[in-house]
Every structure is written in structure tokens, then in C-alpha cells.
Structure 1
């Protein structure tokens, strides 16, 4: 009797400890029905024990979420060892969280193999990581997207063109005689001009246009417009807008732009070379002009 009492007390103690843990702990039988969970799991899904015990995920969660859980459960049972996965999950009360979940097989009733799972809410960590990734894609001076972001975007657009024939165009922009600004006013003023210029361009492009600072006074717009004619209209609008506005007290600038549209067989290097040639032509033709392929 003393041993039975000892086991009973130990089970009560173990249950108390599990219910104090913030991680979500749950276990299911071989048919994927819940056998139990801790208090944190109940609070997280906002259900009572009666509402979840003996039920499977499809009786508790929406179909998409339940399908994800079932898929991961089956993978763990098939491999027969610990499986870890991370995923965004939207729970019944509308909360969206990022969970790190570990599932392991466990034996119950002497011969059946069920699923023991432990999930940790790492939403704050994932958001912090995403923020760091986003910052890595921004130009430090102007806060617009940088060359790394450009490389990722053009790779995506080229894949869309190759697979689905979705067109796009590239606009290469260079601030005319920018060196004179740095020489006459200093690099601090030059930096402010670049910042004001970036803000101005961002205000006058569309959601389907993506602005990048490639380096120095060189900028690129990747435009998902359906026709090059639309892109030429945009480029002329930007050229005229910049020429009319005084960015700083007594500093006016103009820009030269080259435009080309993606063609079959293009890669990131070939389209960049073509648009650079067109930009050079614009600079050679007196600056403050737009040149495009015909």
C-alpha cells in the first residue's frame, strides 16, 4: 500500500509540475485522439478538458490547421523518433503564433504507440529574426531596398517570366553630375540629397514598382507593369518631377534613365548590361533624359 501511495503522490507531483510549465504539452493515442494535456495547452486553445479529450484535431481546429497537425503526426510515427518543426499557427481565438514543436512516440496500454508533443511559443524570437532579415535588405543611408534585395527580387521576377511569361522592366537611374554636389557642398549634404531623392521617388512609384539603391548615386526600379510603354511614361514622370523640385535649399538635380524589358533567354547579368548601355546613352545625349530599347 505504501508503494501504491508513493506512486499516487508522485503522479500528483508530476502532474502539478507539468501544469506549471509554460510550454504546451499534449499527448494523443494511435488514432490521433487526445489523451491529455497540460493547463497551458488548454488555456492556449481556450477549451476545457471535456471539450478536447477523446477528440482529434479535426474536431477541435479548422480543417487547414488540423491537416497540418495530422501530417506532422504521421511523419513522426512513420520515422519512429523525435521530429521537430516550426510553423505559424492561427488558433481558434484568432491568435497567430510561431510554434517550435517537438513530437516523440510514446507507449501506452502496454503495446500501443501514441504521440507526445511539446510546443513552445517563439513568436517574439521569430519576429526579431525577421526584423533582422528585413534590415539586412535595406540600404543604411536611404532606408530603401539595397543591392541584396535587388538580387533576390530580380531572381524571382526572372523565374516568373521563364515559367509563366510574366513580363517586367528595369529602369536604371543615375543622378546627373552628383560628384559636383559632393565636391561643392561636402559628403554630408550629398547624403541628404540621396535621402531626399529616395523619398521623392518612393512617393511617385506604384505598388508594382520596386526601388533599390545599387550604390553611390545609382538606383534601379524593377517594374511589374504589363507593357514597356507604361514604364516609359513612369520614367518620364519621374524625370520631370525631379527636375522641378528643389531637394535642399539651393540644390536642384536632374536624372538620366535607361529602360529595357526582359526578353527570352535573359538572366540577371544580361538584362543589367542592356539597361546600363541604355543609361550610358542617356548620359551621353545631354543627361536629364530617358533612353529605352525599341
Structure 2
């Protein structure tokens, strides 16, 4: 009777816990869980006990659970993992799950799992991470985001020879705007310019503010010709658009395409030289090496 009372007390305590608690036998069948787990997966106890994950969840989710269960049993120690999970009720959450081996029936080793819903924390972390990749003034991606993206594109190019182009953009005579109208107006011009460019590029084009009046587009175009056409379109849009009343600006652009052996520094140096060439030959120009 004392043993029964202890079990009832333990189950009552477990049911008061908000974390999701479940336990499975050595064949990965559920032998118990708390009320929070039942509510979370939208099941009744009789629909869960005695069944394994493949009888309850979709195949991909069941495979994920089985993978972690097997790893934990093989290691024989506590195992933690974090992941996005979509449950049968279409509830998508980010879970921190810890699994440990536990002995039942005196001889068999099963799985005890405790999952905590940390969705709000993960979303906050993602939002914070995104904020660190945005330029504070213009709210477009910054140099840190550029460094991450170009390394990713170079890795894909090295492995699959997937081409991309880099377009370096500089606002012509921007210093005159600051000198004649003040830095507040200059900042407004930069914000308006960034918004104008971002509005006129494609999903496969990625705009970054590198610093000052310098911007870069990493274009996942199939050919450099596509990047050149994009650059010319942007140059004309800017030249014929009044960013602010009585303020017209022009831009100079340099374009180059990734080549074998390129690294972040080599491709940046080539495109900077082309941008300098555009500015040295009258500005409001697009400069690129001849397409072969």
C-alpha cells in the first residue's frame, strides 16, 4: 500500500510540472507521460501508452525521435538536443530535450525524456542575431552579413561551380551632400537610397551597406550579363529618381564574376578596382571586364 501511495504521489507531482515528461521501454514504446505531454501532443493516455513514435507521429518526426533515443541508449548517459518540432496538432515549437536511461521492471533499460518549450527564447535569439546583421542607419544588411554571405557563396562555387557576381556601388560626390545640406540630410539620403535599391533587386540579389556611401550587391545571377543588366537598371533608376526634394544623386558601379581560386579578398579587390575605374572616368557609370 505504501508503494502504491508513493507512485500516486510521484505521478501527481509529475502532472504538476509544465515540462513535457515521457518514458519509453527498451522497444521505444511509451509506458507513461505527464499531463503536459498529453496536452501538448493532443492525445489521450489510451492513445499513447503501448505505442511507439511511428504509430503516433509523422514519419520524419518519428525518425528524429528514434535517432535520439538510439544514440542515448548507445551512449548510456544523458543526452541533450534542441530542435524545431511540428506536432500532430500543427503546433510548431522549439524544444530543449534531455533524455536519460532509466531502469524499469528491475532489469530493463528504457528512456526517460524531459522536453522544455523554449520557442519564445529561440525566437528572441534569432531576432537578436538578425539585428546584429543589420546596418543601424539604413536597416539593410551590414558588413558582417556580407562576410557571412560571400563565404557561403564561395563555398558553393568551389564545390558545385555555381556562379555569382559582385556589384560594388558608390554614391557619387556624397561628401558634397553632407557639406551642403548637413549630415542629417546625408543620413536620410542613405536610408532612402538603400530602400530604393532594395525595392528594385530580385530575391537572388543581396544588398549590403559596407560603410559610408559604399554598398555591395551579391548577385546569384546565372551569368555576368544578368548582373550587368541589373547594374545598368539601378544606375538609371537612381539617376532619374529624386531621393529628396532638390537632391539628385548618381552612382558608379563595378562588376566582376567569381573565378576559380577566388577568396573574399581577391574578388573584393577586383571589384574595387573596377569601381575606381568607373569613378575615374566621369562617374555615373558601370564598369566591368569584357564578357568572354
Asked if Structure 1 and Structure 2 have the same fold, meaning a TM-score greater than 0.5 normalized by the shorter chain, the answer is: yes
Q: C-alpha separation between the residues in 2 aligned to 1:15 and 1:265?
A: 63
Which of 85, 93, 99 does residue 97 from structure 1 map onto? 93
Q: 2:274 maps to which residue?
A: 278
* 3-state DSSP of counterpart to 1:166: coil
Q: For 1:149 and 1:72, how far apart are their aligned partners in 2? A: 33
What is the aligned counterpart of 1:145 among 141, 145, 160? 141
Aligned to 1:265, the other structure's residue is in SS state: coil
Q: Does residue 243 of the first structure (1) align with residue 239 of the second (2)?
A: yes
TM-score, structure 2 length as denominator?
A: 0.98
Deviations along 1:163-189, whole A, 9 cap, x unmatched?
A: 111000000000000001111111111
Residue 226 of structure 1 is matched in structure 2 by 222
Q: Which residue of 2 aligns with 1:163?
A: 159
- Divergent runs of 4+, >3 A: none
Partners of 1:12 and 1:51 in 2: how far apart?
A: 21
Q: Within the alignment, does 1:207 sit opposite 2:203 as a pair? A: yes
Match for 1:82 among 59, 74, 78?
Answer: 78
Corresponding position of 1:183: 179
TM-score (norm 1): 0.97
Distance in 2, matches of 1:157 and 1:235, equals: 20
Alignment deviations for residues 214-234 of structure 1 (CA, whole Å, 9 cap, x no partner): 000000000001011111111
**Alignment match of 1:66 (pick from 59, 62, 69):** 62
Displacement after TM superposition at 1:11 (Å):
2.0
User: How far did 1:269 drift?
Assistant: 0.4
- Provide Cα deviations, 1:121-147, integer angstroms capped at 9, x if missing partner: 000000000000011100000000000
Aligned-residue RMSD, C-alpha = 0.7
Match of 2:69, SS state, is helix
Specify the alignment match of 1:116 in structure 2. Answer: 112
Partner of 1:53: 49
Structure 2 counterpart of 1:32, from 28, 35, 45: 28
| C-alpha distance in 2 between matches for 1:70 and 1:204 | 47
Correspondence for 2:129 among 116, 133, 145: 133
Q: Name the SS for the 1:220 alignment partner.
A: strand
DSSP-derived class of the 1:210 partner: strand
Tell which deviates more after alignment, 243-252 or 188-197: 243-252
User: 1:293 Cα deviation (Å)?
Assistant: 1.2
Asked if 1:265 corresponds to 2:264, the answer is no
Q: Distance in 1 between matches of 2:80 and 2:196?
A: 47
